[in-house]
């Protein structure tokens, strides 16, 4: 029983310590893992596993290890922010794998990327032919950024000299039949207004609504729950 209690305490303390560490590291390190972030996750995870399976590793040693590791990460982030030349050592650099529509085999070999893998990365960006690409950059997180050839690029409103328009985030008023009153209040709407709008769409009961969202530009969008 004592061993189970020890595991519970160590896991709980380890969890909150890791949460605190991720807060200190910032959101950028959690968005897309670079090689340095990958190493950090492995090492920190090993600290927690030692707390559970190694009888000689008490929770205070694990907390010290996590804290010291956090200090190292903070120092490395500080160094890379202050000294640009250090970034090449701690962080991978973007690599141009396609330039002017031509695939650079030397850059691919240097980054250990073969053609099949490159094609997979391009398909993930909705690019299915090399003929569409002007430039492609392999990012430090393993993703690829693509600039299409001018004739194949998407046309914008500015290109067509059309007047601009404002875009706002949609506010969810109903989710799975539940009215979200705080969103109504933020949007300056009332529950009665929402019910009236639903009645105009032939919906008497808000519980029948799977999703209802509203934007000033295009009004209320409603999708009802279809019977199974």
- Mean residue pLDDT of the chain comes to 77
Answer whether residue 28 is part of any domain: yes
Question: For residue 67, what pLDDT is reported?
Answer: 74
Express each pLDDT in 172-183 by its tens digit: 999 888 899 999
List the structure tokens of 221: 């969008």
* Residue 89 burial (10 A CB sphere; 0-12, 13-18, 19+): exposed
Q: Are residues 12 and 72 in the same domain?
A: yes
Q: Are residues 60 and 126 in the same domain?
A: no
pTM of the model: 0.53
Q: How many domains does the chain have?
A: 3
Structural domain for 136, as ranges: 95-152
Q: Which of 38, 59, 88 is the last residue of a domain?
A: 88
Answer whether residue 113 is part of any domain: yes
Answer whether residue 19 is part of any domain: yes
Q: Are residues 9 and 68 in the same domain?
A: yes
Pairing of strands 144-148, 133-138: antiparallel
Q: Are residues 75 and 104 in the same domain?
A: no
Q: Are residues 73 and 10 in the same domain?
A: yes
Average pLDDT score over residue span 130-140: 88
Q: Are residues 14 and 84 in the same domain?
A: yes
Q: How far apart are CA 190 and CA 61, in angstroms?
A: 55
> Which of 21-25, 120-124, 205-209 is predicted least confidently?
21-25
Q: How far apart are CA 82 and CA 73, in angstroms?
A: 14
Q: Residue 208 carries which DSSP code?
A: G
Q: Are residues 175 and 128 in the same domain?
A: no
Express each pLDDT in 33-70 by its tens digit: 555 566 666 666 666 666 556 666 566 766 676 677 77
Report which of 102, 87, 93 is spatially closest to residue 136, judged by C-alpha positions: 102
List the structure tokens of 167: 């875009």
DSSP 121-173: HHHHTT---GGGEEEEEE-TTS-EEEEE-GGGSPPPTTTTTPPP----PPEEE
Mapped onto helix, strand or coil, the DSSP state of residue 187 is coil
Question: For residue 31, what pLDDT is reported?
Answer: 44
Q: Which of 88, 111, 141 is the last residue of a domain?
A: 88
Q: Which of 104, 123, 152 is the last residue of a domain?
A: 152
Q: Are residues 7 and 84 in the same domain?
A: yes
Q: Is the pLDDT of residue 75 over 70?
A: yes
Answer whether residue 60 is part of any domain: yes
Q: Are residues 78 and 19 in the same domain?
A: yes
Q: Are residues 16 and 81 in the same domain?
A: yes
List the structure tokens of 163: 């007047």
Q: Domain of 179: which CATH number?
A: 3.30.240.20
């Amino acid at each position: 029983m004592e061993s189970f209690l020890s595991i519970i305490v160590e896991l709980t303390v380890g969890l909150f310590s890791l949460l605190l560490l991720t807060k200190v590291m910032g959101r950028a390190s959690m968005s897309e893992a670079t090689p340095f972030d990958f190493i950090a996750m492995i090492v920190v995870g090993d600290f927690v596993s030692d707390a559970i399976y190694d009888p000689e590793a008490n929770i205070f040693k694990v907390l010290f290890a996590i804290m010291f590791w956090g200090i190292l990460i903070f120092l490395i982030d500080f160094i890379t922010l202050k000294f640009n030349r250090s970034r090449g050592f701690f962080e991978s650099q973007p690599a141009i794998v396609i330039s002017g529509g031509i695939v650079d085999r030397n850059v691919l070999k240097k980054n250990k990327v073969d053609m099949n893998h490159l094609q997979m990365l391009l398909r993930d960006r909705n690019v299915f032919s090399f003929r569409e690409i002007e430039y492609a950059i392999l990012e430090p997180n393993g993703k690829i950024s693509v600039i299409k050839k001018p004739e194949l690029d998407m046309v914008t409103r500015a290109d067509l000299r059309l007047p601009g328009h404002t875009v706002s985030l949609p506010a969810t008023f109903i989710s799975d039949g539940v009215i979200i009153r705080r969103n109504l209040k933020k949007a300056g709407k009332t529950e009665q207004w929402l019910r009236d709008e639903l009645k105009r769409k032939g919906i008497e009961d808000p519980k029948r609504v799977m999703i209802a969202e509203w934007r000033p530009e295009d009004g209320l969008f409603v999708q009802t729950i279809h019977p199974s």
